[in-house]
């Protein structure tokens, strides 16, 4: 895995648009001050709200099968466990 590029605090100030455009494009940076690493700029992960039917169908075809009986058994076992949540009493 390649190390992310380091940028100085001064570079961040003077090239902020260029750097933010790169972050928006998926690039991460380590920010330094006086030669010491002080932080990271990383892009936020975007949550997808919609998956097209064709993509869902394609993923479903390659997904491993699930035993309905095992799934129900796991649900029953989980529901039967005593909750550690103090508000659940």
CA separation for the pair 81, 34 (Å, rounded): 54
User: pTM value?
Assistant: 0.49
pLDDT at 89 over 60: no
Q: Which residues contact 31 (CB under 8 A, 6 or more apart)?
A: 6, 7, 8, 9, 12, 37, 38, 39, 40, 41
Q: What is the pLDDT of residues 20-72, one digit of tens each?
A: 999 999 999 999 999 999 999 999 987 777 888 998 899 888 888 888 999 99
List CB contacts of 15: < 8 A, sequence separation 6 or more. Answer: 7
The pair of three-digit structure tokens given for residue 76, joined into one six-digit string: 């029953």
């Amino acid at each position: 895995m390649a190390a992310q590029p380091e940028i100085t605090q001064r570079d961040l100030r003077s090239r902020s648009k260029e750097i933010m455009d790169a972050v928006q494009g998926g690039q991460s940076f380590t920010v330094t001050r006086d030669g010491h690493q002080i932080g990271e700029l990383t892009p936020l992960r975007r949550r997808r709200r919609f998956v097209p039917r064709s993509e869902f169908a394609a993923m479903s075809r390659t997904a491993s099968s699930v035993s309905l009986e095992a799934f129900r058994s796991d649900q029953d076992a989980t529901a039967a466990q005593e909750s550690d949540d103090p508000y659940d009493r």
